[in-house]
Structure 1
Amino acid sequence: MVWERCGRQAQGDGYLVVLEPGTDETRVVPRLLDGLAHGLAEANDGTPGAAGGPVGEDSAHPRPIRMRASLHQGIVHEADSGYAGSAVVDLFRVLDSGPVRRALDAFPDTHLVVAFSDSLHRDLVGAGYAGLPAGGFTRAEIEVAAKNFTGVAWIRAVHHAPPPPTSPSRSE
């Protein structure tokens, strides 16, 4: 994935990334999730409350950065107001849903919770691609009555794994 060729759009306090056509999701999605989890863990390293410690309301004890992410696939097009299409609408309906918000609350030891659309979960996780283990996903019925939206998402906390230790170099 070449970052400069991805579509990007600020969405309030969020960010929409549209992968370029032809991207190999089987390679990009695991790396993206690992990178996000690593970046959040690194940003929160040493932050009071980041590992479940006490968090104050003042700036001396900032809250750790925690994030919900939603991944979906489908047709997207550029419009006057930015990226549009039913895939974009569905993505944000899932991202802002109660089940995804509650999942972030339910995993206070993680900085990232991700929701895959049903079709993306079936295509990537269900097919058993490397880096996308089926374990840890929970199926959730998503309903946003005010928007007449129903769907299925697969939600999982993404835990940051520390990099493997490096072998000491040998000098002769």
Structure 2
Amino acid sequence: MDAQAYGERNDRRQSETQHDLPRLLDRAARGAGYDRAQWQIQRKGDEQLAVRPVDGTEPRLVDDYVRHLAAELREYNSDRVPRARLRLRTVVHQGLVELADNGFAGTAVVATARLLNAPALYDALAAHPEADLAVLLSDDVFRSHVAGGHTTLRTGDFTRVTVHVKEYEAPAWLRVPALDAAPASHEHGSAAPVSGEPTAERPAPAAAGGEPGISNDYRADSINVTNMTGPVDARGAVFGFGSTGA
């Protein structure tokens, strides 16, 4: 992740950004159930590259961590004048990484750096001055976690873009959490929004004359009861109540 327009700040503002950014990221991580002290982090002023091991919680990184990060930024910026706001470009990618003597090595690291400099991220923040955060997922992350149905996010929350930075060219998926819908297309790539699965038609409620549909009649013989003890992780679940009247 990288802070937008950092170079336009004076010395005092740059120092403030470098002080506040890691603390904000730490709070967002704790809110999502992570401890960034366990991550390998390469710091560079207003930019951080964090590497964490694969442990099965990757969907939560894409979903919960980004949500908490957006909330932390919103709170941080709430009382600030526009030029003092902290706005971030954030990228999530996955792949093999080697710890080297001067940082991290590997094609996944290079790809992450190229994605972070994607024009689509800059354009998204420029087009939406009210937004504090723009997120870009690599195609692999998007298909593994979002399209795979492992998060509470919808595929329609993202816009497909083509990132071409230096020698790197690949599709990626853009999201601006402050917006209800995916951001508008840009000229830097094929940005046709991708919608989720079509919603199945639902039968209309039963009319007074007994038309087919959902019945509101009480049917004790059709009641199913599930007893659960202890906490239940129901993130992404959908619960329905009622009778089909069959």
TM-score, shorter chain, exceeding 0.5: yes
Of the candidates 33, 37, 40, which is equivalent to residue 4 of structure 1?
37
Moved runs in structure 1, 4+ residues, more than 3 A?
none
Q: Following superposition of structure 1 onto structure 2, how do residues 126-137 of structure 1 map, counting pairs within 5 Å?
A: 126-137=147-158
Cα deviation digits, residues 33-81 of structure 1 (max 9, x gap): 01210111111011123xxxxxxxxxxxx43111100000000110011
Q: Give secondary structure in 2 for the equivalent of 1:135.
A: helix
1:34 aligned partner: 67
Residue pair 1:37, 1:160 contacting (<8 A) in 2 also: no
Unaligned runs of 5+ in 1: 50-61, 162-172
Counterpart-to-counterpart distance in 1, 2:128 and 2:79: 19
Number of aligned pairs? 147
2:93 aligned partner: 72
Counterpart-to-counterpart distance in 2, 1:22 and 1:130: 16
Of the candidates 102, 106, 121, which is equivalent to residue 127 of structure 2?
106
Unaligned runs of 5+ in 2: 1-33, 181-246
How far did 1:19 drift?
1.5
Q: Give secondary structure in 2 for the equivalent of 1:29.
A: helix
- Which has more radius of gyration? 2
When normalised by structure 2's length, the TM-score is 0.56
Mapped pair 1:158 → 2:191: no
Which structure features the higher share of strand residues?
1
Percent identical among aligned pairs is 34
* Greater RCO (Cα-Cα under 8 Å, separation 6 or more): 1
How far did 1:20 drift?
2.1
When normalised by structure 1's length, the TM-score is 0.79
Residue pair 1:7, 1:20 contacting (<8 A) in 2 also: no
Residue pair 1:5, 1:20 contacting (<8 A) in 2 also: no
Residue pair 2:145, 2:151 contacting (<8 A) in 1 also: no
